């Protein structure tokens, strides 16, 4: 058999840009299936809008418009009232894969990767060949508009039709024309995405206009921006050698000791002394730019032998119990809800995260089935609804692992919603599409504890309600005899019939009270639970 030489084979050798890669692998960004692709576009642009408004210190007003265009195409526009994008950054921000203001910052935000916006553009180019139309404010009464496209060969932006306009518009508006997408209704729809975004962001106002022109307004129910999380410093526990080297080689510090103190959380001069004691062979006076793999490995091993304080919890800002209650009441209006907010925890040794859970029962909770209801899981990562890939998501795994029957909850038949939000400076999504959270042990454990705590609150509510129903039925049955009996006794004894009837009624209602004993339950319950007023 004839063999082929390396020279011949390597004639085929090529380099590829990130844009070419995702053009070929669009499913990795969430562009698979017409229904899902439409939601992905809404999701990327909406989460960017929310991030931008919050960073600008502005209460978000977001408008999502989905219109049917010719040839089975759709025009989607998302606009916000945020700070906008400076002209000289618009191409990089919206038309370059792996570029943005978030990836390099160790900070709790919705966006993490610098892919989302360019992914939307790539998808419009792939399906209709059209650029994205952008309008952005650039100061009082001034704005600009332009078209942005992406040269996939080199992952570079192409900006055309740039014009300055006198316009009072504040924020950013992005608009594109797409094919291979479809507006659907149900659990995996743009409507559901907007509804769940409103649930986890009660400080935002969201207007969705569907292809029939129908408007859905999710009004702001909290007039206060969430606290802005500060950029965190990475925690030394859980740090790998390669990461440590990357940090060291760009450090401005003169010595390794000051580099460690400046770069990492909880690293004080006392800790430097401890590291010295653990491994005296580490040269702390060396220039960090010259740190070798060997020395870095020694440092990482020393980190593992030291007791560190947990990362500062202020880096992570959860939605908060009060706001979750307001949002749930506003959107689900349940008969009962129990909310649990756990203390910050750490995964992979040093990444802080907080889990918060609500279990809502009745009202618009759960999923409407052809007959009756079933339970559903509302998953969120840094307040962003996760609608797809539930099968591979750590949140679903944790919730489904729970023996719900123990809590008198039947997820197959009852109107119950399990709301789970994870807040972190870094959410470990299992793919670039950011729809599922990787099942890290510490995260799964926390979710389970939080869900079980909230479930106990709902369990007491359900039990109490069952008791009330039981008592009411018994009361009804026994009360039927009261009238008859008091008449008979009165006839026999000549005593006052009404008095006898009242007495008998008193005895019956004592045995079958109409409401449960709320005080007793409050005294024993640890969970935060409340029935909406």
Ligand X SMILES: Nc1ncnc2c1ncn2[C@@H]1O[C@H](COP(=O)(O)OP(=O)(O)OP(=O)(O)O)[C@@H](O)[C@H]1O
Find the helix packing angle between 241-249 and 293-305, rounded to 10°.
120
Write down the least CB distance from residue 85 to ligand X, Å: 5
Q: Is 362 left (phi over 0), alpha (psi -120 to 50) or beta?
A: left
CB of 361 to Mg ion, least distance (A): 34
Side-chain half-sphere CA neighbours of 314 within 13 A: 6
Could you tell me where the beta strands, DSSP code E, fall in 400-497?
A: 416-424
Contacted by 114, from Mg ion, ligand X, none: CB < 5 to 8 Å by type: ligand X
Q: How far is the CB of 314 from ligand X (least distance, A)?
A: 22
Q: CB-based contacts of 123: which residues, under 8 Å, 6+ apart?
A: 26, 29, 31, 37, 40, 41, 178
Nearest C-alpha neighbor of 273 from the set 261, 288, 263? 261
* Site for Mg ion, residues 210 to 239, rule: CB under 5 A: none
Residue closer to ligand X, measured from CB, 44 or 175: 44
Question: By rule CB under 5 A, what string of x and - marks binding of each residue 100-139 to Mg ion?
Answer: -----------x----x-----------------------
> Which one of ligand X, Mg ion, none is in contact with 238 (Cβ closer than 5 to 8 A by kind)?
none
Question: Minimal distance in Å, beta carbon 139 to ligand X?
Answer: 14
Q: Answer for the pair 328, 361: CB distance below 8 angstroms, yes or no.
A: no
Give the count of residues interacting with Mg ion (CB under 5 A).
3
Strand partners, 67: 75
> In this complex, which beta carbon is closest to ligand X, that of residue 96 or of residue 338?
96
111/226 with CB nearer Mg ion: 111
257 or 421: CB nearest ligand X: 421
Tell me which of ligand X, Mg ion, none is bound by residue 118, counting a contact when its beta carbon lies within the kind-specific cut-off of 5 to 8 angstroms: ligand X
Exposure string of 93-112, with b = 16+ CB inside 10 Å and e = fewer, is bbbbbebbbbeeeebbbbbb
Q: Which is nearer to ligand X, 38 or 115 (CB)?
A: 115
Q: Using CB under 5 A, which of the segments 45-53, 238-246, 481-489, 524-532 binds Mg ion?
A: 45-53
Nearer to ligand X, 46 or 414 (CB): 46
Closest to ligand X by CB, 85 or 399: 85
DSSP label at residue 363 = T
Among ligand X, Mg ion, none, partner that 102 touches (CB below 5 to 8 angstroms by kind): ligand X
Residue nearest to ligand X (CB): 111
What is the DSSP code string of 79-119?
Answer: E--S----GGGHHHHHHSTT-SSSTTS-S--S--SS-HHHH
Least distance CB 406 / Mg ion (angstroms): 40
Which residues in this chain contact ligand X in the complex, by CB under 6 A? 44, 48-49, 52, 80, 82, 85, 93, 100-102, 111-118, 172
Which of 226, 443, 427 has its CA nearest to residue 345?
Answer: 443
What is the contact mask toward Mg ion in residues 152 to 171, using x (rule: CB under 5 A)? Answer: --------------------
The partner in contact with residue 389, picked from Mg ion, ligand X, none with C-beta cut-offs of 5 to 8 angstroms by kind, is none
Phi-psi region of 15 (alpha: psi -120 to 50; beta: other; left: phi over 0): beta
Q: How far is the CB of 121 from Mg ion (least distance, A)?
A: 12
Helix (H) or strand (E) holding 136: strand 132-137
Q: Least Å distance between CB 377 and ligand X?
A: 22
Report the residue number, 427 or 500, with the smaller CB distance to Mg ion. 427
Q: Are 130 and 174 in contact (CB under 8 A)?
A: no
Q: Report how far residue 250's alpha carbon sits from residue 247's, in angstroms, rounded to the nearest whole number.
A: 6
Residues within window 46-75 making contact with Mg ion, judged by CB under 5 A: 48
Is the distance from CB of 74 to CB of 175 less than 8 angstroms?
Answer: no
Locate the DSSP E strands across 295-347.
Answer: 336-341, 345-347
Nearest approach in angstroms of CB 145 to ligand X is 14
Count Cβ atoms within 10 A of the Cβ of residue 44 and give its class: 0-12 exposed, 13-18 middle, 19 or more buried.
Answer: buried
Task: Tell me how far, at minimum, the Cβ of 111 lies from Mg ion, in Å.
Answer: 3
Distance in Å, CB of 52 to Mg ion, minimum: 9
40 binds Mg ion (CB under 5 A): no
What is the DSSP-derived secondary structure letter of residue 69?
-
49 binds, among Mg ion, ligand X, none (CB under 5 to 8 A by kind): ligand X
Q: 32 contacts which partner out of ligand X, Mg ion, none, CB within 5 to 8 A by kind?
A: none
Residue closer to ligand X, measured from CB, 82 or 428: 82
Q: What, of Mg ion, ligand X, none, does residue 381 touch, CB below 5 to 8 Å by kind? A: none
Pair 341, 354: CB distance under 8 Å: yes
Give the residue with the Cβ less far from ligand X, 131 or 415. Answer: 131
Q: How far apart are CB 113 and ligand X at their closest, in Å?
A: 4
Query: 52 or 360, CB closer to ligand X?
Result: 52
- Structure token pair of residue 129: 């060949």
Residue 208 in 3-state DSSP? strand
- Footprint of Mg ion (CB under 5 A): 48, 111, 116
């Amino acid at each position: 058999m004839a063999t082929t030489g390396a020279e011949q084979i390597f004639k085929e050798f090529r380099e590829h840009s990130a844009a070419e890669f995702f053009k070929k692998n669009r499913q990795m960004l969430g562009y698979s299936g017409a229904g899902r692709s439409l939601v992905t576009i809404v999701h990327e642009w909406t989460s960017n809008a929310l991030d931008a408004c919050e960073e600008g210190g502005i209460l978000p007003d977001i408008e999502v418009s989905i219109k049917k265009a010719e040839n089975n195409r759709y025009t989607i526009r998302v606009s916000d009232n945020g700070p906008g994008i400076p002209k000289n950054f618009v191409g990089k921000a919206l038309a370059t894969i792996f570029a943005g203001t978030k990836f390099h910052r160790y900070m709790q935000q919705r966006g993490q990767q610098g892919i989302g916006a360019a992914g939307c553009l790539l998808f419009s180019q792939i399906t209709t060949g059209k650029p994205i139309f952008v309008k952005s404010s650039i100061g009082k009464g001034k704005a600009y508009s332009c078209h942005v496209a992406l040269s996939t060969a080199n992952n570079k932006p192409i900006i055309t039709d740039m014009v300055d306009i006198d316009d009072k518009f504040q924020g950013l508006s992005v608009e594109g024309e797409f094919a291979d997408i479809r507006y659907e209704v149900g659990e995996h729809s743009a409507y559901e995405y907007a509804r769940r975004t409103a649930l986890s962001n009660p400080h935002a106002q969201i207007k969705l206009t569907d292809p029939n022109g129908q408007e859905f307004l999710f009004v702001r129910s909290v007039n206060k921006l969430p606290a802005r999380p500060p950029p965190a410093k990475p925690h030394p526990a859980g740090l790998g050698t390669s990461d440590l080297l990357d940090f060291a080689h760009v450090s401005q510090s003169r010595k390794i000791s000051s580099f460690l103190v400046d770069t990492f959380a909880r690293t004080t001069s006392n800790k430097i002394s401890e590291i010295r004691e653990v491994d005296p062979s580490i040269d702390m006076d060396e220039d960090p730019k010259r740190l070798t793999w060997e020395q870095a490995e020694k440092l990482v091993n020393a980190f593992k032998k030291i007791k560190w304080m947990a990362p500062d919890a202020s880096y992570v800002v959860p939605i908060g119990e009060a706001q979750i209650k307001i949002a749930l009441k506003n959107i689900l209006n349940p008969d009962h809800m129990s909310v649990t907010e756990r203390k910050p925890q750490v995964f992979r040794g040093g990444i802080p995260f907080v889990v918060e859970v609500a279990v809502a029962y009745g009202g618009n909770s759960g999923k409407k089935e052809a007959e009756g209801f079933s339970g559903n899981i509302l998953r969120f990562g840094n307040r962003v609804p996760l609608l797809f890939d539930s099968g591979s998501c750590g949140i679903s795994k944790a919730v489904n692992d729970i023996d719900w029957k123990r809590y008198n909850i039947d997820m197959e038949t009852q109107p119950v919603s399990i709301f789970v939000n994870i807040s972190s400076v870094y959410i470990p999504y299992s793919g670039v599409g950011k729809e599922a959270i990787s099942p890290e042990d510490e995260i799964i454990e926390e979710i389970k504890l939080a869900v079980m705590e909230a479930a106990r609150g709902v369990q007491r509510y359900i039990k109490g309600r069952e008791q009330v129903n039981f008592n009411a039925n018994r009361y009804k049955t026994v009360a039927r005899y009261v009238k008859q009996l008091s008449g008979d006794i009165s006839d026999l004894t000549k005593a006052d019939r009404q008095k006898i009837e009242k007495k008998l009624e008193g005895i019956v209602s004592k045995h079958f009270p109409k409401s449960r004993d709320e005080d007793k339950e409050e005294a024993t319950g640890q969970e935060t639970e409340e029935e909406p007023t």
